[in-house]
Amino acid sequence: MSEARRVAVLGATGSIGGSTLNVISRHPERFGAAVLTAGRRAAALDRLAMRWNPDYVVLSEVPESTAGQGWQGDWRYGTEAIALAAADPTIPIVMNALVGFAGLESTLAALAAGKQLALANKESLVVGGELVLAAAARGGGDLIPVDSEHSAILQCLGGRHTSDVHRVILTASGGPFREWPASRFSTIRPEDALAHPTWSMGDKITVDSATLANKALEVIEAHLLFGLEFDRIDVVVHPASIVHSLVEFNDGSTVSQLGHPTMEVPIQYALSAPEHLPNEFRSFDPVDAGPLEFERLRREDFPMFELGVEAGRSGGTAPGVYNAANEVAVRAFLEERLDFPGIPALVERVLSSMPAAPVESLEHLVEIDAEARSRAHDRVGTPLATRGDSTP
Ligand code: NDP
Ligand code: MG
């Protein structure tokens, strides 16, 4: 049997990072965790390092003290060290489970170095757009989506050419406010938005699911991954999150991928594709799963959706501006400096103040991101003190 393939897990202390390590632990003959990274939660990374004993770990922020660190291996620090890990020549597979724009450099580095990139960090693809696709083409890297909807579309396509496709239909759970009247949206508190009905995820994507910004990011992600025009990408609400997406071919024949809502299936597929490895997940029972219900998206009540799709259509720097303003807005909402309807209001203001321009380089995108954040901060103030545990 061939040796286990080594995986760099970027964002190992997060929701997707943890699920990735679960998948790896179930297939020790196939995969190994070679590098683990985190943001500032040193103690959580230390615990994982004790369990996995990787080649090295990376923390993006240097902790005030390293006293109490249990793992005596190779600790590296800084955001640059994370991008270097993504390009490490000894590692064939990179899982990018970082959150937000912070993941862009690692996505570019992994693809330019020809890696198999399991991409959970959709923001990097959405913001980087053509730059990311060009890095994959240049470096020979293989970009495999972790998002359940895009994993579904990849499987539904089964290698068929997209010229056979009439349209794809992304499913959306609708989030916790699917049935709330818009008149109550100003009363929404962070804990309401964090109570997602079907998926347990990190805070940022959970809020994005509540505003439907996540679905807009996913429309742009589908456009870039599958080379489909925006008019050929639809969204339908499917509260049970069993049907992960659908592909309608030119003759009306429609194929979908189904499964219980667990991210471990798309994560495992992103590591093993095109193979479907055996697993111990609960077998799919159609009787248990049904009935399958679908609804139209309430576009007018969730403006983050249209704003995001419009930014995608404009292209260039617009998705980067949308994303940066959204990251600031989500943080401000979670810190109760902005109410729920304030999220789209803030993003719309920042977008309308920064017209879309062609993307010149990564440095250009970094500037645009900083400018959009600064304009957003001017309106809602800067974030509160850092969260999490900084000492191990
Ligand atoms: P979490 O917040 O749970 O985890 C984020 C991870 O990234 C943590 O390890 C965190 O470290 C690290 N991190 C955060 N900010 C930085 C930074 N600036 N520099 C370096 N490391 C950082 O997020 P999720 O796992 O929920 O989401 C990860 C990505 O996957 C997102 O792009 C999300 O949209 C996408 N995704 C997630 C799904 C899910 O089910 N969770 C489903 C589909 C996509 P620390 O612990 O130290 O803060
Ligand atoms: Mg998704």
Task: Write the CA distances from 378 to 95, 101, 243, 329, integer angstroms.
Answer: 34, 19, 41, 12
| CA of residue 388 to ligand 1 center, whole Å | 14
Write down the pLDDT at residue 231.
98
The ligand 1 atom at the shortest distance from the C-alpha of residue 148 is 43
pLDDT 10s digits, 273-308: 999 998 887 789 999 998 999 999 999 999 999 999
Is the pLDDT higher at 91 or at 389?
A: 91
Q: Identify whether the C-beta of residue 23 lies closer than 8 Å to the C-beta of residue 264.
A: yes
Confidence of residue 390 (pLDDT cuts 50, 70, 90): very low
Three-state DSSP class for residue 23: helix
Nearest C-alpha neighbor of 167 from the set 258, 62, 245: 245
Taking the C-alpha atoms of residue 59 and residue 70, their distance in angstroms, rounded to an integer, is: 15
Q: What's the mean pLDDT when you consider all of the chain?
A: 95
Of 22, 149, 205, best ligand 1 pocket probe by most atoms within 8 Å of the beta carbon: 205
Q: In angstroms, rounded to a whole number, what is the distance separating the alpha carbons of residues 176 and 110?
A: 35
State the distance from the centre of ligand 1 to the C-alpha of 251, rounded, in angstroms. 39
| Nearest ligand, measured from the Cα of 392 | 1
Question: Residue 305: its pLDDT value, please?
Answer: 98
d(CA 240, CA 221): 22
- Of 105, 152, 158, which Cα lies nearest the Cα of 127? 105
Question: 363: part of which helix (H) or strand (E)?
Answer: helix 362-380
Per residue in 131-183, pLDDT (tens digit) is 999 999 999 999 999 999 999 999 999 989 899 999 999 999 999 999 999 99
Q: What is the pLDDT of residue 196?
A: 79
DSSP result, 245-266: EEEEETTS-EEEEE--S-THHH
**Rg from Cα positions in the chain:** 20
Mean pLDDT of all residues in 377-391: 67
Ligand 1: residue whose CA is nearest its atom 20: 39
Reported as a single tens digit per residue, the pLDDT across 64-76 is 888 889 999 999 9
* Nearest of 17, 28, 267, 22 to residue 148 by alpha carbon: 267
User: pLDDT category, 114, cuts 50, 70, 90?
Assistant: very high
Ligand 1 center–CA 186 separation, angstroms: 27
Taking CB atoms and a 6 Å cutoff, what residues make up the pocket around ligand 1? 11-17, 38-41, 44, 60, 79, 82, 97-99, 102, 120-123, 146-147, 199, 201-202, 205, 263, 388
CA pair distance 310, 116, nearest whole angstrom: 30
Which tokens go with 156?
A: 């539904």
Ligand nearest to the CA of 107: 1
2 confidence band (pLDDT: 50, 70, 90):
low
| Model pTM score | 0.96
